[in-house]
Chains A and B, each alone.
Chain A
């Protein structure tokens, strides 16, 4: 009667992470290194150490997020005068000078998206650890959002790359990348890995445990 309990894990099957083939999980093989008979990927019922790895990556990203926003990402040298810009000072410059659509794009991609992604992942990690079965479908939706939006944070890195390539006018104007760009790139890469290591099935695992509890 209880349909929600019919998951691959409850019937000793493993779904391959790579080709989605359902494989049998024979007892006795539990400790051995199993591979998918079709595509050869390693088989796990859940991503290995998902919570610990995601926590580590999320914390590392939080740490890098600070220098990414405090340190300058570009140094503009114009007629001997050097001006250093952080991400936020660029956003403020564009709102003041009237190009608010650009200011909005940079703010959303570089400030809002990485932070939103980190907060969502932290929230998902805590909610999974508390074994709550509160709004599981919506939480899976939140996870999908973090998977999709992360890549768009790279915009600022690309803008710096293009500016550095184009603005080489000798004494007139040159642009150099700042240390903030390195940390910012690290934030983007680390949060992408964090989204990949998080296993959304953990959100649903508590439900089955609850149901089993009420059935017995």
Chain B
């Protein structure tokens, strides 16, 4: 039987088909901008750029022309086509892998998702992009649920991990979330990497079921939510749960079992924490960009961490996420992690509201269980907050909403 490469909305693409299409693809663009983000076209184009060794710039197909303009991307150049000069036939998968690894000029440029400010352009070579990709015989039969935007860093990580081990990718992103239980069962999915938000949104449809096929669950792309670990473990009893620290700038760097990240010995001299508890990464670990501001060669990640010992740390919050309430710095994620436990709260977002008395106060936008009464829930949230949080960390205003805005990568927008 032909080994499947990708399953996308019921359509199956084998590795043979992939190799054939790589040969047939004669015209290419150095810009990868595919409206609707069809994952097959995206993956095919990336592999094509590697085989023919030309730099490629990956642009999210969900971006509107207006957004592209704001990113200073010349929309006309997106549709320029070039022709392959020396057409090259790959015979089998092993040759494909060899050809990929022999690239010299290839870089992949992408944009940070930009929760604050203009998205930054970052270029990676194959080494920085696949630093944490592991190839091993024992991974050969892995089947991946693909749960990220394929043009974003986390999605590319899953893609390379799956490709390098010749695994099958089952696309579960972008409207496919509700089909996840069926897809896991049908394809015997073994690995899934997704954001906490994704897991939270699929949990109701997975509840009460047990899927023994799942071997590994990875949290990435946003702050890890430890309260999801228990329910996920019940649904996936054989899965190891891991948490990954990665950024578009630095790639995937650390892995945590629970909340404590380990700094690998190989890069321990290139990672440090400054006096303000901000995580710093040496520039040699980064992709290339003209927009970094370095301090003596160190890149400030904007991530606040708590150092447990020289090689371990916990992630506390994004520096820019802190809200100043009357001089007290509040980490909205801490408040969210506490208040998500209030019965009747399904999801919530804590953000700042400016005022002239305390500078900012906290506002919570809450998605509630339809059965719960609004007034009662407001009271219980405030009481719960009063019991477990200092008073400046209590959301003073509580609004009930149907949806919490997210960036394209699925991170909550705290604006």
Physical interaction between A and B: no
Chain A residues at the B interface, C-beta cutoff of 8 Å: none
Chain B residues at the A interface, C-beta cutoff of 8 Å: none
